[in-house]
Amino acid sequence: MTQIAFPFRIDGRGRTASAAPDAHVRDLVEQVLFTTPGERVNRPDFGSGLRQLVFAGNSEELAAATRFLVQGALQKWLQEVVRVEDVAVESEESTLTVTVRYVVLATEEQRTDRFIREL
């Protein structure tokens, strides 16, 4: 089955760009991480709210809360696609780095992806 690439774009043939299954799963994780709840009209609770935490003060408590927030959002929205094993979040100035270790349920393949977002 062909999956639509994220972010949406047109390929060299003038068609909707597609993504390989592995890339599609990574795209799904990225969408959950960096979508702010309320951003999607028909799914106002979709996302993790991670982007809003960049401006909060740095502390061990905030880091722990952020890990639970991200892990909970991934489990809620992608529970049929991945099993989350670990989440690490780093915030430095306006850069947010999230490292997620998960297992793709369809293939039982363990993956570790790093997502970096400048805000």
CA separation for the pair 35, 47 (Å, rounded): 5
The answer to whether the predicted template modeling score (pTM) of the entire model surpasses 0.85 is no
Arch. (CATH architecture) of 3-118 = Roll (3.10)
pLDDT digits (tens, 9 = 90+) for 2-61: 688 777 788 888 888 888 878 889 889 988 988 889 898 999 999 888 777 666 666 667
pLDDT digits (tens, 9 = 90+) for 60-117: 677 777 888 889 999 999 999 999 999 988 777 667 788 999 999 989 999 999 988 7
Helix (H, G, I), strand (E, B) or coil at 28: helix
**Backbone angles phi and psi of 67, in degrees to 5:** -60, -45
Say if CB 78 and CB 100 are below 8 A apart. Answer: no
pLDDT digits (tens, 9 = 90+) for 27-37: 899 889 888 89
Q: Where are the domains of the chain?
A: 3-118
CA separation for the pair 33, 46 (Å, rounded): 10
